[in-house]
């Protein structure tokens, strides 16, 4: 791991990524070649993330080919949180790749309808245009994802849906559709035989070589090594999905709180007025069963509105501040979710410990309390991190397979829960309000205006009835 301060590492990574772009632009023939820092994995990973971000910002597409899964979890983590759903990152094994693809699709679907950070607004607008252009493929892919069949093949041109594809050589050679703008091949010396086929997949190509490791080759994967690689990728995907699920839940809770503060009180007042109007009508036509029934229903609706408004008023008093997580808070929560997730537990004692910490982390994230999250991380590192990682290295293939299976199930559960939230009427209203805000309108204030007009009409009607 790097011992450089994060700010210094990031600045060095930007410089390295800029030098790669210069090598591409200045190359007189295809492909361009350059070396990567020896023993500088952290720097190279950060530079790859910076290069990916710059490519997306410039409106271009990128294919980044890696020899194996070794760097994929850390590379995925290094990507900007706002950029991650725009990147297709797949491990070598088809089963693990299918799970990773489903997780990425869930992230992408969740983010599409929400407002994005201003720095990435153009990139997300371009993504919406890309999906409109490939509407049939997008729907086909969503249908595949919702099928839940782990062994079924995903659509062959799924890469067309993403501006950035980060793939091991096996998946990269199966890429289809229009050539990518840029091809980056990491450790090209290890997959020299594959280079001619890869070069046909892009307009520009840069081969990143580790001179000190020249001549190396890919070692065959045994079952233990494969499971370890899948374990690390699943941990990364779990962190992303737990973060997304927690964020959507908190955003909806915050929107619900604001909705009831603005609209709920007025709806309660309107329902009370309508109940009084119905009661007045029933008093005048006491023998009409239909009118009596309508009065009873109106009174019951008014009582439901009153109880619901009271419940949310109490929640509003308990809320310390609106949910508005910073990028640092999101990254910290994701890091914690990856490390302490209960599905990574070795035994029941370990699972209980992780579950307790994960619950605390969720509460702290929703409260926007970065200090508590850091305390949880310190508690974890001081109490269990080294011990559990040591136990996992010594774990049998069978026990590791059980952990992998639990993580796979949890990813499937989160995806289903997230899709359930995204399909709710409340989320539709949340999205509509977000879209209206982007267009300079305040949907909730417009609703308030409409309800106020209805309240005024109901008051006038009630005064007329009571005056008779």
Instruction: Indicate which CATH number applies to the domain containing 158.
Output: 3.40.50
Cα–Cα distance for residue pair 164/180, rounded to 1 Å? 9
- 28 and 175 share one domain: yes
User: Is the same domain home to 184 and 302?
Assistant: no
**Cβ proximity of 44 and 63 under 8 Å:** no
Whether residue 318 is contained in a domain is answered as yes
Written as tens digits, the pLDDT of the chain (468 aa) is 444 556 678 888 999 999 999 988 887 677 898 888 876 788 999 999 999 999 999 999 999 999 888 888 888 888 988 899 999 999 887 777 888 888 899 889 888 877 667 788 899 999 999 999 999 999 999 999 887 655 578 888 999 999 999 999 888 888 888 899 999 999 988 888 889 999 999 999 999 988 665 455 555 556 777 777 778 888 888 888 999 999 888 888 888 888 887 887 787 878 788 777 877 777 666 556 666 666 667 677 767 766 666 665 655 555 556 788 888 899 999 989 988 888 888 788 888 888 888 999 999 998 888 999 999 888 888 765 444 444 544 557 777 888 888 888 888 888 888 888 887 888 888 888 887 887 788 888 888 888 889 888 888 888 777 776
- The confidence score (pLDDT) of residue 393 equals 47
The answer to whether position 178 is within a domain reads yes
**DSSP code, position 161:** G
By residue range, what is the domain housing residue 86? Answer: 6-217
Are 448 and 266 in contact, with CB atoms under 8 Å apart?
yes
Q: What is the pTM of this model?
A: 0.75
Same structural domain, 117 and 258: no
Domain boundary at 166, 197, 217, which? 217
What's the pLDDT score for residue 455?
87
Pairing label, strands 164-168, 87-89: parallel
* Whether residues 178 and 256 fall in one domain: no
Question: Domain for residue 384, yes or no?
Answer: yes
pLDDT the model gives residue 163: 96
Cα gap 181→338, rounded to integer Å: 33
Task: Note whether residue 282 is domain-resident.
Answer: yes
Cis omega (within 30 of 0) on the bond before 464? no
DSSP per-residue letters across 354-381: HHHHHHHHHHHHHTT-HHHHHHHHHHHI
Q: Among 174, 200, 217, where does a domain finish?
A: 217
Q: Parallel, antiparallel, or unpaired for β 62-66 and 180-186?
A: parallel
The pLDDT of residue 385 is 47
Cα 290 to Cα 275: distance, rounded to the nearest angstrom? 14
Query: DSSP 3-state assignment of 209?
Result: strand
267 shares a domain with 213: no
Asked if the structure places residue 232 within a domain, the reply is: no
Q: How many residues does the chain have?
A: 468
**What pLDDT, on the 0 to 100 scale, is given for residue 386?**
47
Query: Are 397 and 250 found together in one domain?
Result: yes
Q: Is the same domain home to 251 and 210?
A: no
Question: Are β-strands 62-66 and 32-35 bridged in parallel, bridged antiparallel, or unpaired?
Answer: unpaired
Strand partners, 184: 64, 206
Is there a single domain that holds both residue 190 and residue 253? no
The answer on 186 and 41 residing in a single domain is: yes
**Are 209 and 296 part of one and the same domain?**
no
- Distant-in-sequence, close-in-space partners of 30: CB < 8 Å, separation ≥ 6: 199, 204, 205
Identify whether residues 136 and 207 lie together within a single domain: yes
Residue at 443 is within a domain: no
C-alpha distances out from residue 160 to 16, 58, 86, 96, 141, Å: 28, 17, 11, 20, 11
pLDDT the model gives residue 54: 94
Q: Domain for residue 93, yes or no?
A: yes
Which residues does residue 186 pair with via DSSP β-bridges, in sequence order?
Answer: 208
Per-residue pLDDT, 130: 95
Number of domains in the chain: 2
Q: What is the pLDDT of residue 15?
A: 92
Residue 3's pLDDT is: 47
Flag whether 447 is in a domain.
no
**Is 154 found in the same domain as 203?**
yes
């Amino acid at each position: 791991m790097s011992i450089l301060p994060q700010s210094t590492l990031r600045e060095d990574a930007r410089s390295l990524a800029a030098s790669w772009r210069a090598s591409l632009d200045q190359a007189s023939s295809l492909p361009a070649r350059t070396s990567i820092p020896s023993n500088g994995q952290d720097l190279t990973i950060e530079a790859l993330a910076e290069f990916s971000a710059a490519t997306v910002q410039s409106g271009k597409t990128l294919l980044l080919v890696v020899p194996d899964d070794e760097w994929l979890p850390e590379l995925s983590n290094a990507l900007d949180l706002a950029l991650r759903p725009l990147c297709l990152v797949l491990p070598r094994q088809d089963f693990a790749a299918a799970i990773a693809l489903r997780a990425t699709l869930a992230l992408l679907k969740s983010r599409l309808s929400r407002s994005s950070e201003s720095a990435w607004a153009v990139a997300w607008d371009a993504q919406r245009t890309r999906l409109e252009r490939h509407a049939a493929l997008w729907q086909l892919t969503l249908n595949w994802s919702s099928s839940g069949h782990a062994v079924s093949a995903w659509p062959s041109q799924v890469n067309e849906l993403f501006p950035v594809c980060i793939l091991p050589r096996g998946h990269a050679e199966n890429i289809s559709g229009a050539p990518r703008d840029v091809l980056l091949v990491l450790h090209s010396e290890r997959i020299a035989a594959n280079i001619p086929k890869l070069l046909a997949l892009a307009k520009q190509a840069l081969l990143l070589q580790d001179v000190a490791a020249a001549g190396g080759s890919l070692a065959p994967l045994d079952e233990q090594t494969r499971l370890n690689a899948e374990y690390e990728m699943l941990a990364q995907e779990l962190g992303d999905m737990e973060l997304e699920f927690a964020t959507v839940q908190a955003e909806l809770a915050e929107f619900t709180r604001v909705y009831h503060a603005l609209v709920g009180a007025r709806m309660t007042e309107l329902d009370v007025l309508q109940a009084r109007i119905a009661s007045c009508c029933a008093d005048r036509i006491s023998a009409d069963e239909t009118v009596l029934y309508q009065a009873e229903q109106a009174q019951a609706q008014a009582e439901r509105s009153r109880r619901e408004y009271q419940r949310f008023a109490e929640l509003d008093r308990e809320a310390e501040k609106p949910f508005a997580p910073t990028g640092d808070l999101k990254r910290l929560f994701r890091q914690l979710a990856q490390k302490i997730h209960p599905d990574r537990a070795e035994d029941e004692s370990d699972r209980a410990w992780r579950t307790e910490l994960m619950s605390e982390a969720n509460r702290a994230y929703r409260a926007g309390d970065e200090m508590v999250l850091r305390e949880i991380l310190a508690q974890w590192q001081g109490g269990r991190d080294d011990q559990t990682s040591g136990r996992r290295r010594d774990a049998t293939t069978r026990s590791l397979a059980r952990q992998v299976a639990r993580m796979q199930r949890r990813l499937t559960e989160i995806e289903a829960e997230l899709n359930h939230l995204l399909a709710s009427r409340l989320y539709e209203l949340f999205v509509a309000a977000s879209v209206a805000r982007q267009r300079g309108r305040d949907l909730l204030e417009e609703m308030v205006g409409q309800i106020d007009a209805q309240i005024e009409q109901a008051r006038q009607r009630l005064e007329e009835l009571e005056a008779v």
